[in-house]
Amino acid sequence: MSIDDKIYTAHNKSRKRKIKMTLLVILIIFFLLITAGCISNEEKEVETTGVETPSDMIDGALDFAKDLKNLDVSISIDLYNLADKFGSAKDDKEIEEIAVDYYSENAWIDKIIYYDAVTKERLDIPIQIDTELDSYLPHPTEEQLKLAGGNIHYDSVMIPEDGHVSVECAAVYDENGNYKGCFVFVYDLYVALNLHPMFMDTEKSYGNFICFCLDKNNKIVYSSKQEYIGETVDSYLNDGINVIKISDKESGAYTYKSASFYNYNRHFNTEKITDWEKFTAFKTTYTLYLTKELGQPPLIYNNIYDVNPDQAEKDVNDAYVYAVQKGNQALLDRINSGYYNTPMGILNYDGYVVSGFDNSLLGLNFLNNRGAYGYAYTKSMIYTAQQGGGYVYYMYPVDGTIDTQASQFSLGYIMPIPGDCFIFGRFSGYSDLIPKNVNIRNDVTSLSRAVLKDAYDNGADYVIDKISKNPHNTEVFTGNLTTNVEDLGILDYEGNIYASAYNPSVVGYTLTGYKDVYGGSTVRKLIMLAKSGGGYINELYPNPIKDGYVDLWLYSVEPIDDTYIVYTGAVIKTFEDISPDLAGLNLQ
């Protein structure tokens, strides 16, 4: 019961009069505090005004909806065709070959899992090592699959190693119509929209908008701001920056002001417009939010950020010592007070933001946070923290668009602290903005999966021998590469190298001690990724030709089996003078 209810129930006029006087005094004091500057009003909700929706935004919404519907149709056709192939397969080996063929040809897909209803066993492509993936995936029954017409789509399934992913399940029947089991696709909708064959080499008209896609439960299943995937809309709508709640107005679009939007123009006051639309795709109805900046300043590609790794390392080490001595809560208070010059936060090993950076991010899960090349770099942060700390590297997409060509090379310095958490201090590795090469990820993926398929077909020893006999030659596996993939090798889970196409002198050695420019072990990170089913990682090495220059690499990692791992890599960009300390950190 509220205070007013109690007053009216008691019919105590004198008491009511005293309460009103007390409230009046409190209001007067509060007003005086505000006018005196003792209370800031930083959380004031942004006012909105109705405006006419530009036709290009409407086109963008329609195009995005059309693309999702087309993707739905494309995946449904693939599900039907694969289910037919699985149903006619004679044994697990043939099913495995069918799955590997599809996996190797589709860079957008994360995993394929086949469930045999007779043996109650699962077949994973690629092989899953040291994970509990099965307990996190949905397990539809035969009856559920029948009622759904043979396949079921699941949004925002949370897998600890991958974040929120999309899952497609399809029933498999033999030639006599008997239920054999089902298989599932595990994939990231963000990656599918950028790497699915039907979207490659096409120009998306919605690429200039910030996009949020919500399911019927208001859960974000797609976002160009990746950290929001899997969250409910209420977790961020009130910050006045991203979108306006539909309930605020009956319809239309609204302009509003913000002091910060793009990372590259923080000092500008900009005006945005937000629109939304409901559409049906993936067998359900979604709400689509599109936000566009009006009067956007031109994109500048030089001298945007300061580079100061020394300060970041100093601040993170100080925070680590403070946490050990004073406790995590004391460190939280220190970070939140703005004590450090380095942008700093605390994440736990499940990827959730515990403190720091921006209060609007508290409680969000960053496992979905994607680099410019579409990989979850938070994984690398967690692995680095579990190994005792150090640097992580990633290409950070310029905030604001789905398909931006602008990205920035960023670094983070990490130290573990008590409570299964780690401190993350972030800073720029290079001041210029860098146009991303959208083909690099597709090429390193295509090559690693071509090697993987060859290993499944002919054995790992055959592939090791093939790499050794064809140095500097990737065309023996695939001839469809458009960029210069410059690293290809096979190693085991102890870090022993069995084949290297570009550096055969390392074969036979254990390279867990092989260091990048900041002293981290690349091979250990590759092994950690392989154990969780594979993935991507950035690494930084001295350029072998130019003294004082360093190369930023993108690596793709795939587990071949429980013994061998394949890795492929390509250089994203070569930097000069990225850090004043590089001269003393050459490879060991």
Q: How does pLDDT run across 133-176, given as a tens digit for each residue?
A: 788 888 999 999 999 989 999 888 888 777 888 899 999 999 99
> Where are the alpha helices (H) located in 470-581, listed in sequence order?
522-531
Predicted confidence (pLDDT) at residue 464 exceeds the cutoff of 70: yes
Predicted confidence (pLDDT) at residue 334 exceeds the cutoff of 50: yes
Torsion of CA 255, 257, 263, 265, to 10 degrees: 100
| Residue that has been written with the tokens 């709508």 in this structure | 237
Predicted confidence (pLDDT) at residue 509 exceeds the cutoff of 90: yes
DSSP 510: B
Work out the burial of residue 368: count CB atoms within 10 Å of its CB; fewer than 13 is exposed, 13-18 middle, 19 or more buried.
buried
User: For residue 19, what pLDDT band results from cuts at 50, 70 and 90?
Assistant: very low
Q: How many angstroms separate the CA atoms of 55 and 576, rounded?
A: 44
* 272 contacts 289 by C-beta, under 8 angstroms: no
Predicted confidence (pLDDT) at residue 262 exceeds the cutoff of 60: no
Instruction: Output the DSSP codes for 328-365.
Output: HHHHHHHHHTT--SS-EEEEETTSBEEEES-GGGTT-B
Q: How many angstroms separate the CA atoms of 216 and 285, rounded?
A: 6
Predicted confidence (pLDDT) at residue 294 exceeds the cutoff of 80: no
pTM over 0.85: no
Instruction: Output the DSSP codes for 549-570.
Output: EEEEEEEEEEE-SSSEEEEEEE
3-class secondary structure, 63: helix
* 491 contacts 564 by C-beta, under 8 angstroms: yes
User: For residue 305, what pLDDT band results from cuts at 50, 70 and 90?
Assistant: low
Predicted pLDDT of residue 259: 35
Q: Where are the beta strands (DSSP E) in 174-294?
A: 179-187, 210-214, 220-223, 253-258, 270-281, 284-294
Residue 39: count other Cβ atoms within 10 Å of its Cβ: 10
Predicted confidence (pLDDT) at residue 248 exceeds the cutoff of 70: no
Collect all residues with Cβ–Cβ distance below 8 Å to 59 and sequence separation of at least 6: 205
- Number of continuous H segments (helices) and E segments (strands) in the chain: 13, 22
Torsion of CA 32, 35, 38, 39, to 10 degrees: 100
Q: How many angstroms separate the CA atoms of 71 and 204, rounded?
A: 14
- 40 versus 304: the higher-pLDDT residue is 304
Side chain identity, residue 388: G
User: For residue 422, what pLDDT band results from cuts at 50, 70 and 90?
Assistant: very high
Residue 304: count other Cβ atoms within 10 Å of its Cβ: 18
| Residue that has been written with the tokens 């960029």 in this structure | 483
Predicted pLDDT of residue 374: 79
Work out the burial of residue 217: count CB atoms within 10 Å of its CB; fewer than 13 is exposed, 13-18 middle, 19 or more buried.
exposed
- 200 versus 97: the higher-pLDDT residue is 97
Q: How big is the chain, counted in residues?
A: 588
* 156 contacts 137 by C-beta, under 8 angstroms: no
Please give the C-alpha separations between residue 323 and each of 9, 219, 427, 579, in angstroms, as whole numbers.
52, 35, 21, 27
DSSP 205: G
Q: How many angstroms separate the CA atoms of 214 and 289, rounded?
A: 8
464-493 average pLDDT score = 93
Lowest mean pLDDT among 93-102, 307-316, 396-405, 414-423: 396-405
* 574 contacts 447 by C-beta, under 8 angstroms: no
Collect all residues with Cβ–Cβ distance below 8 Å to 552 and sequence separation of at least 6: 393, 395, 409, 429, 538, 539, 540, 571, 572, 573, 574, 575
Lowest mean pLDDT among 91-95, 250-254, 336-340, 488-492: 250-254
Of the candidates 108, 191, 115, the one whose C-alpha atom is nearest the C-alpha of residue 374 is 191
Q: How many angstroms separate the CA atoms of 529 and 134, rounded?
A: 18
457-463 average pLDDT score = 95
Predicted pLDDT of residue 454: 95
* Structure-block tokens of residue 391: 């640097």
Lowest mean pLDDT among 26-35, 194-203, 423-432: 26-35
Phi and psi at 178, nearest 5°, equal -85, 140
Torsion of CA 202, 207, 212, 214, to 10 degrees: -30
Torsion of CA 356, 362, 368, 369, to 10 degrees: -30
Predicted pLDDT of residue 10: 38
Tens of pLDDT, residues 177-235: 999 999 999 998 878 887 787 776 666 666 566 677 887 777 888 876 666 777 776 54
Strand partners, 348: 421
Predicted pLDDT of residue 456: 93
Q: How many angstroms separate the CA atoms of 228 and 12, rounded?
A: 50
Q: What is the mean pLDDT of the chain?
A: 77
User: For residue 496, what pLDDT band results from cuts at 50, 70 and 90?
Assistant: very high
485-492 average pLDDT score = 95
Predicted pLDDT of residue 440: 92
Q: How many angstroms separate the CA atoms of 483 and 437, rounded?
A: 9
Please give the C-alpha separations between residue 557 and each of 167, 188, 289, 387, 563, in angstroms, as whole numbers.
22, 17, 34, 19, 14
3-class secondary structure, 53: coil
Q: How many angstroms separate the CA atoms of 173 and 566, rounded?
A: 34
Torsion of CA 97, 99, 104, 105, to 10 degrees: 110
- pLDDT cut 90: percent of the chain above it: 31
* 439 contacts 483 by C-beta, under 8 angstroms: yes
Of the candidates 361, 332, 365, 368, the one whose C-alpha atom is nearest the C-alpha of residue 350 is 365
* 462 contacts 342 by C-beta, under 8 angstroms: no
User: For residue 320, what pLDDT band results from cuts at 50, 70 and 90?
Assistant: very high
* 451 contacts 568 by C-beta, under 8 angstroms: yes
96-119 average pLDDT score = 93
